């Protein structure tokens, strides 16, 4: 992992916020899901550094993606210990996530995992992949809540016209109340000298 200064002031506050978001139970569930899919045991002790150590080289993530995308060409991943090769593995995993339909906003950046900068986002990104894989029928188990389906609605012309004549409460209606008769004190009296 790259040596970065701890930081002071705002940097330290932002790092503390990221550390507060880390949930060891969610990380454990995520790694158990990966174990289930790739059918290999992973040793996890609950610490965010351990998550980074397990996933940092990107090999497990590429194996996971190859299993989920079994009908597509397999990802050829590097087993090298060189930093740029490991980061390339993570990048290939992220490209695979995007091809499966995981939103970029749900994913993470390569440095979030490789340098351990934002482990909670890594866990959330893998969770988003798990939900998408379950929805597509690629795995039997989901992680977290079920991904929602589109619920498109069709309205007739009459229904749309009827809605134009209704003022919703969000539009600032006060149901006919006025300020008539209210007085909050008297007017300012200016007396000439």
Confidence (pLDDT) at 19: 80
Confidence (pLDDT) at 131: 92
Condensed to tens digits (0 to 9), the pLDDT of residues 174-192 reads 666 666 666 666 666 777 6
**Residues sharing a CB contact under 8 Å with residue 62, sequence separation 6 or more, in sequence order:** 75, 77, 89, 92, 93, 96
Confidence (pLDDT) at 88: 94
pTM tops 0.85, yes or no: no
- Residue-wise pLDDT tens for the chain (193 aa)? 556 666 788 888 887 888 888 888 888 899 999 999 998 988 888 788 888 999 999 999 999 999 998 877 788 888 888 989 999 999 999 999 999 999 999 999 999 989 888 899 999 999 999 999 999 888 888 888 887 778 888 989 998 888 887 766 665 656 666 666 666 666 667 776 5
Confidence (pLDDT) at 191: 76
Confidence (pLDDT) at 173: 59
Confidence (pLDDT) at 175: 64
CB–CB of 77/92 below 8 Å?
yes
Confidence (pLDDT) at 102: 92
DSSP string spanning the chain? Answer: --------THHHHHHHHHHHH--HHHHHHHHHHHHHHHT------S-HHHHHHHHTTSHHHHHHHHHHTTTSPPP-------HHHHHHHHHHHHHHHHHHT--GGGS--HHHHHT-S-HHHHHHHHHHHHHHHHHTTS-S---SSPPPPP------HHHHHHHTT---GGGT--TT---TT---SPPPP----
């Amino acid at each position: 992992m790259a040596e970065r200064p701890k930081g002071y002031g705002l940097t330290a506050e932002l790092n503390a916020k990221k550390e507060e978001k880390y949930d060891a139970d969610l990380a454990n569930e995520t790694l158990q899901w990966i174990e289930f899919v790739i059918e290999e045991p992973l040793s996890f002790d609950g610490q965010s550094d351990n998550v980074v150590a397990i996933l940092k080289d990107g090999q497990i993530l590429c194996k996971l993606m190859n299993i989920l995308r079994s009908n597509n060409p397999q990802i050829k991943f590097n087993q090298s210990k060189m930093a740029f090769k490991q980061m390339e593995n993570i990048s290939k995993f992220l490209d695979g996530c995007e091809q499966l339909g995981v939103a970029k906003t749900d994913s993470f950046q390569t440095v979030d995992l490789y340098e351990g900068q934002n482990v909670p986002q890594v866990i959330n990104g893998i969770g988003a992949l798990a939900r998408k894989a379950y929805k597509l029928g690629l795995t039997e188990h989901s992680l977290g809540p079920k991904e929602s389906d589109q619920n498109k609605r069709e309205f007739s012309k009459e229904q749309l016209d009827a809605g134009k004549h209704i003022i919703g409460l969000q539009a600032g209606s006060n149901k006919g109340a006025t300020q008539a008769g209210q007085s909050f004190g008297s007017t300012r009296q200016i007396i000439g000298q």
